[in-house]
Every structure is written in C-alpha cells, then in structure tokens.
Amino acid sequence: MKIVIIGGVAAGASAATKARRTNENAQIVLLEQGEYVSFANCGLPYYVGGTIPKRDNLLVVREELFRKRYNIDVRTLSQVTKINRSKKTVTVLDKRNNTTYEESYDKLIIATGARPFVLPFLKDCKNSYTCFTLYDVDKIKEAFSADPVKKAVVIGAGYIGMELAEQLNLLGVECTIIELKSSILPQFDKEMTNPVVDTLKEKGVDVKTGVSVVDADVIDGVAKRLKLSNGEEIECDVVFQTAGVIPNVELAREAGLEVNRGIVVNNKMQTSDPDIYAAGDAVEVKSIITGKNVWIPLAGPANKQGRVAGCNAAGGNLEFKGVVGSSIIKVFDWALAKVGLSETECKDQGLNYNVTIVHPLHHAGYYPGGKQLTIKLIFDSTTGRIYGAQVIGKEGVDKRADVIATAIYAGLTVFDLENLDLVYAPPFSSAKDPVIMAGMTASNILRGEVKNILPDRVFELLDNPDYIVLDVRTPEEYEFGHVKGAVNIPVDELRNRVSELPKDKKIIVYCGVGFRSYHGCLILKANGFDCLNMSGGWTSWRMYYPDMVE
C-alpha cells in the first residue's frame, strides 16, 4: 500500500505518523510545499513578542525524525498542483529545481490547511505582514531588528490579532486594533469581551470596532497611512493582517470532490472519493451540538482529524465524532474560553435556548487570592441540554471550560452539571464549583423556581410602565451605581416592605451577582408578585453596559 499525504503541520503530520503506527509495511510519502514539515503555528505571535525566545522551539517534529523513527518519505518544497483521480496520481512541483513529476497513490490524504485573508491593496506592501508561517515571523523579526517600530496596526481582532496586539504592547510598540465586527474576539458574545477592552485601553492599546480598512497611502511600496471606513486615517510603521483565514480547497474542488466552504468528509475523514481522505483546516466536519456540517479551523480538531484519516487510509478503523468548538485565548492577565455555541449563534440557528450568568470566585472565598470568574451558560429551554458556554477570568478559566466542553460532548444537561462530583479543596475550588453553580442556576430556571432575564432585555424594558426594577443590594452599593430608575429595598428588609411594591406590575430584581436577587424573587413570588431575576446582577449589567451607570 502506498499512502500520499498533501501537506504537513498539524493534520498532515498527525496523519503520517498515525498511518505508520497503523501499518508498518505501507509506503508513506508526505509532500509539503514549505520548508518545514511541522511547526507550532499557534506559538508564532509569542515568538514575535519574545515570550517564546528561540525559533527552534517552534519546530515540533523535524524531517530527520519522520524519516528515521517513522520511515516516512518527507519531501519539503514539494507543491502538489493537481490531483489526477482517474490515474490515482498527483502532479508535484519540485520548488528546488522547478521541475514537475507525477506521484502515484493507493490512498491519498489532503491536508492543505488554510491561508490568511489579505487585503488586495496591502498585498505587496513591504511593511505588511501575516503571522501564519515561520516565513512570516522570520520577516517580522528581520524588520523589527532593522528599523525601530513605533506604530503598528493589527487588522482583525480574532485570536491571532489579539495575541499579536498583546505581544507588540509588551515590546513597547504603540498598537491599534481594527475590527470590522462590533466587538473584539467576535466569536464571543460582546458583553463577555467588554472587560478585556478596558484592560487593552489601560495598557495603551487603541481598539476600534465596527470599522474596516478600505485603502492605504503607499509610498515606495510602504504603507504609511491606513484609511478607515469611517473616514479616519491612521499612521503606521507596520501592518499585521489577521482578519481570518480561507480554506485551501482548490485542489479538491478541481479534482471533482464534494466541497462546500470546506471539503466534505464523513466520520472516517473520507471524501466523496473513497480512496481520498482529508483533514484539518480545509475540511468541514459535523457539529456535535447541531449535527450540521461546520468549518472550524482549530489546531485541536485538526490533529485528531489527521490521526483518524491516517489510521483509516492505512487500513485501520477510527471515527471522528465531530467538534464541540472549544477554544481559549490569553489577553494580558485575562483568559477567555468558548465551548460550543454562543448566544448569537443560537439565535442565528433559531434554537430554543435560555441563558444563565454566574460570577463566582475561582476558589473558596475564605482562602486568599480568589479571582472572579464569569460563566455564561447557554442551554435548551425545555430539555436543559447544554448548547455552549463562555468563561472569562484571570484564574481557573480553562478548567471550567474543559468540564463544560466534556459535558457537551457527552450530551449532558444542566441537571447533570448541578450534580457533578468535582475535586474540591479551598486552594482549587469551592464545595460548589463554579460549573456546578452555573448548573444549579440553570436548573432552578427550568424547574420554574425563578424566572430569569438578561441585562439586554432589562434595558429594553426600562421605560416600560408595566415593569419596575428593584435593587436589593445595600444602600451603599446602590449609591455606588445602579440601573436607571431602580428602586432600592435591601433583600434583608424585603419581607417587611413588600407593601411598597405594586402587585399590578412585573418586578425585575437584581443584586450584585444574582444570589440575593434570587432570594428576593422567592420572597416576592411567595407574596403573589410576578418577578424576574436579572441574571448575574449588577456585575452582568456592567459587562453589558460598561458606560451606563446611574
């Protein structure tokens, strides 16, 4: 058996090594158009900033290891230009001598990945860079060592853009981030990223959202000034283009394989041609949550998909069961994780969902050093099935996100979350872990113990005469800041003061994080009031509306 793999890095390299572990006797050829067969592209921004000090640290597996340990015929600088399905060959351009040849295969694996989106008018600018390959960061490092860089513009506030902005700031470079969507990290719901914007501004990073770069003043091949869609102009020494990636599906499409946004594969990572497999950023796979095909270019799924493709191409039998869509990013001292669907994505797909937001400490409050977490949990309004979650904070974020990602993968509900048996000791968690607390609040909602309402809906009802907003915090907390028009009755006085509230109106109750207001709602409900608990309380309100304080 002869297996040919197009592309290295995450999916291709994983496919090659798993194919060898599955079949010792197969002939395996890996064709990589670049100079490096496997490198850590997720670490590139950190090498730019010096957090990762040595370039060699990014070289995950070298050619020599592929050859000696795995007996894989690795050919770098070898670009596949055509797949000839009828002949079962690929046409290869050898970049070393600019010659072409045909390579036969019994099984073919496509791991062509993706490429960065580049604005046409900046494509040939000497000071415009992407941050996608080792070649990119080599050029960036060279530019930074040749001339002092004072002003940088990062186009696109996704994961790579935000990581680059942080690293540039650590280098002392004045940085501006430009994002077309209305918020940074648009994979997240906007309110979850607002606290990070405040930190960026405190660090001196200029954040511009809801605008795009439409043109540039280019002199002698150097972009001197960028022109924005709002009429603003920004001077720059360097420009980083991090506004997303495009899947490399041209080879597959020209070969007549089924392609939508990405290459269509089954759970064996098999394309519409049973002798051709595909994996990584070029493919579409099933969402575990919706069952629909999705294109999610992330390193974790790419590695697992490559492993499945390599095994099956070599005669094994593995399945890729789908993706949850789990990701995390560090921005200065913040960590932001997203698993499953956001609220925006649930709306777009027409799902019947509800939301709870909790703000617990990452470990026991009586143990020193507790840091606040925010968990936004999204779930089916009827069954309690978990659709997704976003977790932000400064400690303990990854642990909670991973627990919820596992719950989604296993098909658990919020009723399962409230009953999880998780590890506990004061330095690590609370007796009721933050994930369990999120499960409890969601379960309370579904059991009908309390009705919840999100801050954005409260905002829409502020001037509605049928509603009253009730703040059950202390007078001191109320004076520090409150929702416009809110009445203040502390929860400890509420039983004796319910007569001050009209029963012909709906009462929206809030406190600091939602716990006291939950008790307040139970008191009001027992006294015949129709009330709603604002999820996450004042802390959530400040995340949704950071500039709106009475």
**CATH number of the domain where residue 530 is located:** 3.40.250.10
Residues 6+ apart with CB under 8 A from 540: 191, 357, 359, 374, 454, 455, 513, 514, 534
Q: 433 and 342 in one domain? A: yes
Task: Return the structure tokens found at 536.
Answer: 């996450």
Give me the pLDDT at residue 453, please: 98
Domain-embedded: residue 79: yes
Domain boundary among 313, 336, 366: 313
The reply to whether 224 and 286 lie within a common domain is: no
Has residue 227 been placed in a domain? Answer: yes
pLDDT digits 0-9 by tens, 51-88: 999 999 998 778 889 999 999 999 999 999 999 999 99
Domain co-membership, 130 together with 193: yes
DSSP assignment string, 114-169 = EEE---GGGTT-TTEE--SSHHHHHHHHHHHHHS---EEEEE--SHHHHHHHHHHH
**Do 104 and 156 fall into the same domain?**
no
Report the C-alpha gap between 269 and 275 in whole angstroms: 11
Range of the domain at 512: 452-544
Q: Do 457 and 506 sit in the same domain of this protein?
A: yes
Q: What's the confidence (pLDDT) of residue 549?
A: 65
Pair 343, 375 in one domain: yes
AA identity, residue 509 = V
Same domain, 341 and 441: yes
Q: What is the spatial distance between Cα 145 and Cα 141, in angstroms, rounded to a whole number?
A: 6
Q: What amino acid occupies position 76?
A: T
**Which residues are tagged catalytic?**
42
For residues 252 and 232, the answer to whether their CB atoms sit within 8 Å is no
Residue 322 lies in a domain: no
pLDDT of residue 547: 83
Residue 87 lies in a domain: yes
Q: Edge to edge, what strands does the sheet with 2-6 contain?
A: 73-75, 27-31, 2-6, 107-110, 276-278
User: Are residues 233 and 276 part of one domain?
Assistant: no
Torsion sign across C-alpha atoms 486, 347, 297, 321:
positive
User: Is residue 318 one of the residues assigned to a domain?
Assistant: no
- Domain presence at residue 203: yes
Output the pLDDT for position 8: 92
* Residue 492 within a domain: yes
Question: For each of the chain's 550 residues, which pLDDT tens digit applies?
Answer: 999 999 998 999 999 999 999 999 999 999 999 999 988 889 999 999 999 999 999 987 788 899 999 999 999 999 999 999 999 999 999 999 999 999 999 999 999 999 999 999 999 999 999 999 999 999 999 999 988 899 999 999 999 999 999 999 999 999 999 999 999 999 999 999 999 999 999 999 999 999 999 999 999 999 999 999 999 999 999 999 999 999 999 999 999 999 999 999 999 999 999 999 999 999 999 999 999 999 999 999 999 999 999 999 999 999 999 999 999 999 999 999 999 999 999 999 999 999 999 999 999 999 999 999 999 999 999 999 999 999 999 999 999 999 999 999 999 999 999 999 999 999 999 999 999 999 999 999 999 999 999 999 999 999 999 999 999 999 999 999 999 999 999 999 999 999 999 999 999 999 999 999 999 999 999 999 999 999 999 999 999 999 876 6
Is residue 300 helix, strand or coil? helix
Q: Give the residue among 68, 62, 73 at the shortest CA–CA distance from 3.
A: 73
Write the CB contacts of 116 (distance below 8 Å, at least 6 apart in sequence): 130, 131, 132, 241, 242, 243, 244, 245, 246
Question: Cα separation of 227 and 216, whole Å?
Answer: 6
Q: Are 303 and 385 in the same domain?
A: no
Q: What is the pLDDT of residue 106?
A: 98
Q: Which of 410, 430, 446 is the last residue of a domain?
A: 446
Q: Give the DSSP letter string of 65-116.
A: HHHHHH--EEESSEEEEEEETTTTEEEEEETTTTEEEEEE-SEEEE---EEE
Q: Are residues 58 and 137 in the same domain?
A: no
- Same structural domain, 395 and 485: no
Q: Give dist(CA 477, CA 488) in Å, integer.
A: 10
| Residue 549 lies inside a defined structural domain of this protein | no
Last residue in a domain, options 423, 446, 469:
446
pLDDT value of residue 148? 87
Same domain, 17 and 97: yes
pLDDT computed for residue 168 by the predictor: 97
- Summarize pLDDT for 122-167 with one digit per residue, the tens: 999 999 999 999 999 999 999 999 888 999 999 999 999 999 999 9
What CATH code is carried by the domain that includes residue 92? 3.50.50.60
Count up the domains in the chain and report the number.
4
